[in-house]
Amino acid sequence: MKSVEIQQRWLKFFEKTNSLGLTHTVVPSASLIADDPNLLLVNAGMVPF
């Protein structure tokens, strides 16, 4: 089993509805590096200014 298949199975497992009727939404990956040359630090994804 390849890592891609393991990842797909893992994501599909959590997309399914559980016993409480809740589902998870899978969102695509995003870069953690801000696309702003003036921004030096990001605290928990928030910019205070």
- In contact, 16 and 23? CB cutoff 8 Å: yes
- Residue 2 is predicted with a pLDDT of 95
The pLDDT tens digits for 5-37 are 999 998 888 888 777 778 888 888 887 776 777
Overall number of domains in the chain = 1
- Residue 44 is predicted with a pLDDT of 60
Does the pTM surpass 0.75? The reply is no
Give Cα 49 to chain centroid, integer Å: 25
Task: State which residues form the domain around 43.
Answer: 1-49
Residue 42 has pLDDT above 80, yes or no: no
- Residue 49 is predicted with a pLDDT of 59
- In contact, 41 and 32? CB cutoff 8 Å: no
Encoded tokens for 29: 């990956």
Beta strands in the chain (DSSP E): none
Q: How many CA atoms lie within 13 A of 26 on its CB side?
A: 11
- Residue 3 is predicted with a pLDDT of 95
